[in-house]
Amino acid sequence: MSDSTPATFAGEVVRSAYAGGLLVASTVAAWLLGVALVFPSLGPSAYVLATVDDPPTRRRVVAGHAVGVAAGAGAYYALAGGLAVTAALEPGSTATLRLGLAGVVSVAATTFGMRYFSVPHAPACATTLIVSLGLLTAPLELVGIVASVGVLVVVDAAVNRSGLV
């Protein structure tokens, strides 16, 4: 779909449905497996694939998120292992500082990795925070993040090849 095409109500309905539709396979898999395969940064990736005139290559999307997962996990386990931002955080506590530092380090490391490997994808910085702040940290969850992104780009490729959008 072209970003330069004048917006029409019907065209925007199709784009919007496509962005949401890209998440269907991961949502069904999450439902059937009981694993967190739909997470906040998947939405911006779907949006970019569905709406941007010159979307990032699928390689950039997958590799960017993989860098984010690796950087987030490294920062989390090095600085904040066992903590999660979902818990009540005590103002001025060491735990709160450790989580904050894990977030800072993970975004810096993700930015470095994506730029170094030429795979920039801004939503991956959200992925790295999801991991480094302790929201998804188990090995199966980390694999699930990258697998969900892989499913997203496979669905996008299949739909684009089919000519449906």
Distance of CA 65 to the CA centre of its chain: 6
What's the whole-number average pLDDT of the chain?
93
118-158 per-position pLDDT tens digit: 999 999 999 999 999 999 999 999 999 999 999 999 999 99
Q: What is the pTM of this model?
A: 0.91
Tokens of 63: 């590799």
Neighbours of 62 (CB within 10 A): 22
Neighbours of 73 (CB within 10 A): 21
Q: Give the pLDDT score at 52.
A: 84
Domain residue ranges in the chain: 9-162
What are the helix and strand counts (H, E) for the chain?
A: 7, 0
Give the chain's residues under pLDDT 50.
1-2
